[in-house]
Amino acid sequence: MKLGENLVHNRKSIGIIGAGRIGEALTANLVKSSDEMGLEKVLIYSREKEAERVRGIIRQVSPMNSNLNIDRVEDLHELGEKCDIVVVVIGKKEGINKTREDLTGQYFHDIKEIMEGIGDSDCTVLMGTNPVTPNCLVANLYSQQRSPEIIGFTRLDYIRAKHILTGWLRREWKKDLLDTEVELDVLGPHGYGLLVTNIRIGSRGRRRHIYENEGLSLFFEDCDRRIEKLSEETAHYGKDAYTSTAPEGTPSFFAIQISETLSYILKGGKDTAAVKVNLSEICRSGLAILTEPIYVSVPVIFDKGHPIIDPEFNLSNISQEYRKDLLNVLMGEEERIKNYLLSHKNGFSKLKNHYRL
């Protein structure tokens, strides 16, 4: 039975790969929210050398819900067989000056090993390891599942963009905007090059849909308040926050947001996530077509555990200029992956064949 069937009636199981700071915080958050999310069990994968730490995490969080099954698993296929969703939050020590793009290739071996270990088990994989979209691609190519469901965790771009735009409006209008709703969509990779689009500002039922700077300028006297600036500040936000909080970071924040996405997957609702998309409309610009599958962050509706691109999101409303820029960003991401493959003797035969290298 695939994730989501009889979702309301069946309690679900979540597996975690990565017992670092975020994995630990995620475990605690899931245990705390388990009844609300309808969870039956939370399983943590670890090798033997990490076993004692994982057992300690389990001992620490178990008193929050004595009825929840929390356990350690040291076999990836067993994890995939026993869990409806497996969350990948592996991490390495990273320098504060590294961008998500700089990490391309660092996790490919681990993700390949994870997908081969999961094998043909019928679990959904939520990729929470940066850079998200290349890692989703590798997970897809090396999956042995009959119909792999790979979802990239990118909801942070949505909440950051909404936070930044709300701040702009409050500074402009000098009020709390209690009667004004702010909504928007985010398209593209998780990180530099993303596009904030389909901005909705106004009271319920009277919101204006904005795809161009001309529409956004109606709310601001400052001509610098542009879609390009909003998109750039959204991408910068994560790096700046990480630099300020390194090396400890803020694992509880990430854990809460990952739990939000998991809740939407399990119970349904709208979120922002990286999913496999058809970019044919973007590619009408005349530029070279990218090698599919392509993973891009888009607004999605989760229905019975499956992500469906929000039917209200219309790519044709986005100007050709923005679509060209987005395609160039995605082509740059593809080029970084190719460069990594050509400069490392890593045996990624499937990935090399994918790009015809």
In which band, very low, low, confident or very high, does the pLDDT at 98 lie, cut at 50, 70 and 90? Answer: low
The yes-or-no verdict on residue 139 having pLDDT over 60 is yes
In a domain, 346, yes or no: no
Report, as an integer, the average pLDDT of 137-154: 96
Q: Are residues 77 and 211 in the same domain?
A: no
- For 177-231, write each residue's pLDDT tens digit: 666 789 999 999 888 899 999 999 887 667 778 999 999 998 888 788 999 999 9
Q: What is the mean pLDDT of the chain?
A: 89
Of 319, 330, 263, 270, nearest to 299 by C-alpha is 270
Percent of the chain predicted with pLDDT > 70: 90
Q: Are residues 213 and 334 in the same domain?
A: yes
Domain count, the chain: 2
Q: Are residues 148 and 160 in the same domain?
A: no
In a domain, 72, yes or no: yes
Q: Are residues 204 and 274 in the same domain?
A: yes
Place of tokens 């500074």: 171
pLDDT given at position 8: 40
Q: Are residues 206 and 170 in the same domain?
A: yes
Report, as an integer, the average pLDDT of 334-340: 91
Q: Are residues 68 and 165 in the same domain?
A: no
The residue segments making up the domain with residue 99 are 12-153
Report, as an integer, the average pLDDT of 132-148: 95
Q: Are residues 142 and 101 in the same domain?
A: yes
Cα–Cα distance measured from residue 42 to residue 47, given in angstroms and rounded to the nearest whole number: 17
In a domain, 348, yes or no: no
CATH of the domain at 214: 3.90.110.10
Q: Are residues 206 and 93 in the same domain?
A: no
Identify the residue with better confidence: 224 or 161: 161
Q: Are residues 120 and 142 in the same domain?
A: yes
Last residue of a domain, one of 153, 168, 183: 153
| Lowest model confidence (mean pLDDT) among 27-41, 99-113, 131-145, 267-281 | 99-113
In a domain, 330, yes or no: yes
- For 286-310, write each residue's pLDDT tens digit: 556 788 889 999 999 999 899 999 9
In a domain, 243, yes or no: yes
- For 3-50, write each residue's pLDDT tens digit: 544 444 467 999 999 999 999 999 999 999 999 999 999 999 999 999
Q: Are residues 48 and 173 in the same domain?
A: no
pLDDT given at position 9: 41
Q: Are residues 310 and 161 in the same domain?
A: yes
pLDDT given at position 191: 82
pLDDT given at position 278: 83
In which band, very low, low, confident or very high, does the pLDDT at 284 lie, cut at 50, 70 and 90? Answer: low
Q: Please list the residues that pair with 185 across neighbouring strands.
A: 197
Report, as an integer, the average pLDDT of 256-280: 94
In a domain, 2, yes or no: no
Last residue of a domain, one of 138, 153, 168: 153
CATH of the domain at 52: 3.40.50.720
The yes-or-no verdict on residue 357 having pLDDT over 90 is no
The yes-or-no verdict on residue 332 having pLDDT over 80 is yes
Q: Are residues 133 and 178 in the same domain?
A: no
pLDDT given at position 177: 62
With beta carbons less than 8 A apart as the criterion, state whether 279 and 343 touch.
no
Q: What is the CA radius of gyration of the chain?
A: 21
SS (H, E, C) the chain: CCCCCCCCCCCEEEEEECCCHHHHHHHHHHHHCHHHHCEEEEEEECCHHHHHHHHHHHHHHHHHCCCCEEEEECCHHHHHHHCCEEEECCCCCCCCCCCCHHHCCCCHHHHHHHHHHHCCCCCEEEECCCCHHHHHHHHHHCCCCCCCEEEEECHHHHHHHHHHHHHHHHHHHCCCCCCCEEEEEEEECCCCCCEEEEEEEECCCCCEEECCHHHHHHHCCCCCCCHHHHHHHHHHHHHHHHHHHCCCCCHHHHHHHHHHHHHHHHHCEEEEEEEEECCCCHHHHCCCCCCCCEEEEEEEEEECCEEEECCCCCHHHCCHHHHHHHHHHHHHHHHHHHHHHHHCCCCCHHHHHHCCC
pLDDT given at position 93: 58
Last residue of a domain, one of 122, 153, 184: 153
Of 45, 25, 86, nearest to 255 by C-alpha is 25
With beta carbons less than 8 A apart as the criterion, state whether 340 and 348 touch.
no
pLDDT given at position 170: 85
pLDDT given at position 1: 43
In a domain, 270, yes or no: yes
In a domain, 355, yes or no: no
In which band, very low, low, confident or very high, does the pLDDT at 285 lie, cut at 50, 70 and 90? Answer: low
